[in-house]
Structure 1
Amino acid sequence: MAAYKDEARGTWYVSFHYNDWTGKNKRKLKRGFRTRKEALEYEQKFLLQQATNLDMRFADFYKLYEEDLKPKLKLNTWRTKEVIFQKKLIPYFKDKKMNEISPANIIKWQNEMIKKRQADGKPYKPTYLKTMQSELSAIFNHAVRFYNLRENPVKKAGTIGKGKADEMDFWTKEEYLKFIECVKDKPISYYAFQILYWCGIREGELLALTPVDIDFENKKLHITKSYGKLSIVQGDPGDGKSTLILNIAAKLSRGECIDENMNITEPVNVIYQTAEDGLADTVKPRLEAANADCSRISIIDESDKDSH
């Protein structure tokens, strides 16, 4: 593969030949790339889409899948998918080629997930097994639809888990009224349960409520977000993970949102735990450089734990 500089426009372009679906040899020209890397990435992706099958590792195709799908989804939706891929799918399939993953491979993975036990010794719930399989099937469906993979091996392997959770027991109105009488002396609990029961909102939506969501004049409660957490920041040494987290902490300490899905109106208290960076020479200077309100940031320092 080669990319060329368009001196007149100051941009890069690619020009290459490929065989279309009929087997006919054609030439492709694409201009307007800002960098040589972007031009080469376009050529690589285009040729992959024209290929008759996918001779690439699962982990590499996941990067294409993320590039295609992530911009179309809400951030929290993508994060849910990402956790399943990073923890349950990529570790197992990462080095296998997409066009070599067979229904037998899928069945072996299914059996491992069924046997696997969580930290509390319990197996995964049937609904979670079903969710994991759905995500695995989704990436193969994407490969079939857009990258000419011959078939989806997950469909042949059959399903695991179940789509619906077990039936839940709900309080009747009479049972709830008996319960709420018992917590009248605890204002926070009382109003929290009142909102949960009468409004029918989820726990995460309750925890995300702020004063601006409550319209006392019109007697309305605006449910526009849900409380969530970012559990993992993954990367190689030197990628800047600590700097990223400290910048997030700085924004929150100033009462600023970190993305368009967050809605905070006042500064937030932050607890930061470090096991390797020194407070005086690393953590505090980075917070100050990010204009953090350090009075709102508490530090748990385990960087010198082994020295005591």
Structure 2
Amino acid sequence: MSVYKDEKRNSWYVKFRYVDYYGVKKQTTKRGFATKREASEWETAEKMKRNFNLDMTFSKFYEIYEADVRHRVKETTWENKETMVKAKIIPFFGERKMIEISAKDVRHWQKEMIEYKDEKGKSYSQSYLATLHAQLSAIFNHAVKFYDLKNNPAKIAGSMGSKRGGNIMFWTQEQYKAFIECVMDKPLSFYGFEMLYWCGLRIGE
């Protein structure tokens, strides 16, 4: 038994041992559960995660994915990825088991993303849709490569959107000079645009 009653706090807690990815024996404890059932449910999900059992939910696997990947990319890159995943992917796949998510499920999610429109009737751009799919596929690829998931349902379903996302327009030097003359009386804007244009910087830089 690994679920216990804390009589002093009138709550339940979980304590169990496990072997980590490197074969090291460890122990974990989680306190503060209001009921024994809540404690048992947490224990089951946590054991699946720590034993890398892909019968776990997508949300639980994402925690593993974060631990594996976050330190390998720039913090801003991870933050952008995390924002996208938590807003557009986890709400749909979060409580589904990894081994049960099919290409059909991914296609259904794609349909929702493609048909989405905001309060102004604006839909997602083709490049954003392509990026969303790439993020989902990356998570499944990680499960296939390192945790023995049979296949990547996002890859089977096929991509959506377009990485090109339409034509990108650039100012010629003559066009830029005509524009910059209009903001010469606004020093902050003038110097900001001068730096962006002549240094070839993007807004994020």
Q: Same fold (TM over 0.5)?
A: yes
CA displacement, residues 33-81 of structure 1 (integer Å, 9 cap, x when unaligned): 5x5449x999755632xx5xx2111111111111111122211111111
2:51 paired residue number: 47
1:199-218 aligned within 5 A:
199-205=199-205
Distance 1:116 1:46 in 2: 36
1:113 paired residue number: 113
Q: For residues 78 and 183 of structure 1, do their structure 2 counterparts lie closer, same or farther at Cα, with a shift above 3 Å needed? A: same
Distance 1:98 1:78 in 2: 22
Which segments of 5 or more consecutive residues in structure 1 lack a partner in the other structure? 3-12, 17-27, 206-308
Q: For residues 177 and 128 of structure 1, do their structure 2 counterparts lie closer, same or farther at Cα, with a shift above 3 Å needed? A: same
After TM superposition, the score normalised by the length of structure 1 is 0.52
Distance 2:196 2:102 in 1: 46
CA apart distance, 1:15: 7.5
SS in 1 for 2:169: coil
Alignment of 1:150 onto 2:150: yes
Distance 2:85 2:193 in 1: 35
Q: For residues 55 and 120 of structure 1, do their structure 2 counterparts lie closer, same or farther at Cα, with a shift above 3 Å needed? A: same
Indicate conservation of the 8 Å contact 2:48/2:56, yes or no. no
Segments ≥4 residues shifted beyond 4 Å: 13-16, 40-46
Distance 2:47 2:115 in 1: 43
1:81 paired residue number: 81
CA apart distance, 1:118: 2.1
Which segments of 5 or more consecutive residues in structure 2 lack a partner in the other structure? 3-15, 31-42
Indicate conservation of the 8 Å contact 2:65/2:142, yes or no. yes
For the aligned residue pairs, the C-alpha RMSD in angstroms reads 2.7
CA apart distance, 1:87: 0.8
1:30 paired residue number: 24
Indicate conservation of the 8 Å contact 1:14/1:29, yes or no. no
CA displacement, residues 211-257 of structure 1 (integer Å, 9 cap, x when unaligned): xxxxxxxxxxxxxxxxxxxxxxxxxxxxxxxxxxxxxxxxxxxxxxx
2:160 paired residue number: 160
1:70 paired residue number: 70
CA displacement, residues 140-196 of structure 1 (integer Å, 9 cap, x when unaligned): 001111111100011111110001122122111112122222222222222111111
Distance 1:108 1:202 in 2: 35
Distance 1:154 1:119 in 2: 29
Structure 1 residue identity aligned to 2:150: R
Please say which structure displays the higher CA radius of gyration: 1
Greater fraction helix: 2
SS in 2 for 1:204: coil
Indicate conservation of the 8 Å contact 1:14/1:43, yes or no. no
Distance 2:85 2:18 in 1: 35
Count of matched residue positions in the alignment of Structure 1 and Structure 2: 177
1:219 paired residue number: none
Distance 2:49 2:180 in 1: 59
Q: Larger RCO: Structure 1 or Structure 2 (Cα < 8 Å, ≥ 6 residues apart)?
A: 2
Indicate conservation of the 8 Å contact 1:15/1:29, yes or no. no
After TM superposition, the score normalised by the length of structure 2 is 0.76
